[in-house]
Amino acid sequence: MLRSTYDGDNTVFSPQGRLHQVEYAQEAVKQGSAVVGLRSATHAVLAALKRAPSELAAHQNKMLRIDNHVGIAFAGLTSDARVLSNYMRQLALSSRLLYSRPLPLSRLISQLADRAQLNTMQYGKRPYGVGFLVAGVDAAGAHLYEFAPTGNCFEYYAMALGARSQSAKTYLERKVETLEAMSMEELVMEALYALRDTLQQGKELDADAISLSIVGPGADSDVATAATRAEKFRIIEGDELRPWIERMTPRANPANASATGAVPGDGTDAPGGEATVGDAAAPMEE
């Protein structure tokens, strides 16, 4: 069977006006393990499920620190995430060397989007097969951005990427009105509940397979105080994460939930919503 002309080149539109290579890159993001991001007026939180390529391997890193005030969680091809994260670190370092200030998130995202968009229109290149949730703090407050292989970047109060991410979005949509006023502790718990909704029914979170990151006010400050150091972007894993998971309310039995009228996906029972098409977890990013 001959390959379609429109599949092999990302500079040629199909008769329907589609770029197939860009859509394939978006599918790579959908097949990655789930990541969730939330922000309030002061803090931004990321949570991610980690996969292990085999029983003999350690879990894959899903979060990367870019600077003291910004970091990312990704879904998709790890190699592409590594290349783009190094580019973002170069931008952040250049801002500190040239202007003696941390790079504003809006400028970081704009330059990242420009680089990704070039790969959707130049012959001989392919779109990056990875999606980011970028969390950070600058002079304008806390921010959460989504980066897509298309080169589109949007700011959100809450967002989820990866396999079965629609279940997490459904949960977050019910919480979005209250996110702005939440404390850091409340944001962390909501992120964990949303991440749990991406698991199969009856599954609970495992601390060894989760990464959590937090960034807060003052993270972009060069003043070295105990308060500012505590708010800089940091990744929490393993034993440090267990106390948070132990605070979660276990899922209720679905039969009991229907009998009592509980709403699925509210952090007390089975995941809210079904997985969308393309949400089956494939080992693409491992």
Burial state string for 126-147 with b = 16 or more CB within 10 A and e = fewer than 16 = bbbbbbbbbbbbbeeebbbbbb
CA angle 98, 71, 265 (to 5 degrees): 155
DSSP conformation class of 35: E
pTM for the structure as a whole: 0.84
Q: Which residues contact 124 (CB under 8 A, 6 or more apart)?
A: none
pLDDT in tens, the chain (286 residues): 445 667 777 778 888 888 889 999 999 999 999 999 999 999 999 999 998 888 888 888 999 999 999 999 999 999 999 999 999 999 999 999 999 999 999 999 999 999 999 999 988 889 999 999 999 999 999 999 999 999 999 999 999 999 999 999 999 999 999 999 999 999 999 999 999 999 988 888 999 999 999 999 988 887 777 777 889 999 999 999 999 999 999 877 655 444 444 444 444 333 333 333 333 334 445 4
Structural domain boundaries in the chain = 20-248
- CATH homologous superfamily of 20-248 equals Aminohydrolase, N-terminal nucleophile (Ntn) domain (3.60.20.10)
